[in-house]
Amino acid sequence: MGKVSIGLRGWRFDEDEVFTEDGNYRPMDEISDDTQKRLGRLTALVGTPCDACWLMHGDENLTDCNVTEVVYGEPLSEISVCSEHESDFLYWYFEEGGEQFRGEDELQDEFHEWFADGGRAPEGYGSMEHVDTDPDDLPEPPEPDLEELNVELPEDEQEKINLRDVDISQEYPK
């Protein structure tokens, strides 16, 4: 078995770590913590707007944004782009010094800043070659263990909310 992308291109997984011999997902307790984190993050990224499109169009015009197809970087500081903007990310990464942020939390912010300041790949700049095999034929991921996802905050960081004082008639921003 080899390396595979799941759901989005970019992040690659050892196929035998994620899937059983019959092609189903392994139970989460058989998958490494890093892979679990990436798989969990992928479920949040699939169907979201491309970072570059979002920077151009903003929250008000999300319908003008392409959907994320490729993800690079580390979970929660990743770059997620559509095919149209993948070359912009690759140009920034390889030609504009973005590679220095490899594995760092600053990767996302640095790319966003460069792109928002008008940074773009030159016309005809190449992109990565990805091989799609049955991109729509994915098994259902296993349910995460919700107990493992809960994080206990130290008591001094916990905030008590009195629901009796919440004004539910108030209109809140969407």
Query: How far, in Å, CA of 55 to CA of 112, rounded?
Result: 8
Radius of gyration of the chain from its Cα atoms, rounded to whole angstroms: 19
The tally of CA atoms less than 13 A away on the side-chain side of residue 173 is: 2
Same domain, 70 and 21: no
Flag whether 153 is in a domain: no
Q: Please name which of 151, 142, 148 lies closest in space to residue 33, comparing C-alpha atoms.
A: 148
**50 near 66, Cβ under 8 Å?**
yes
60 pLDDT tier (thresholds 50, 70, 90): confident
Flag whether 165 is in a domain: no
Same domain, 14 and 72: no
Instruction: Give 70 or 138, the one with higher predicted confidence.
Output: 70
Using the structure block, give the residue that is written with the tokens 């990565």.
Answer: 128
Same domain, 30 and 75: no
Q: Please name which of 115, 114, 123 lies closest in space to residue 56, comparing C-alpha atoms.
A: 115
Domain tally, the chain = 2
What was the pLDDT predicted at 37? 93
Q: Give the model confidence (pLDDT) of 118-156 as tens digits.
A: 999 999 887 666 555 555 555 555 565 555 545 565 666
* Rounded-to-5 percentages of helix, strand, coil across the chain: 40, 10, 50
Flag whether 144 is in a domain: no
Coil vs helix vs strand at 47 = coil
What was the pLDDT predicted at 68? 95
Query: How far, in Å, CA of 161 to CA of 60, rounded?
Result: 31
Q: Check pLDDT > 50 for residue 174.
A: no
Identify the domain containing residue 84 by its residue range. 47-127
What was the pLDDT predicted at 55? 95
Residue 42, Cβ neighbours under 10 Å: how many? 22
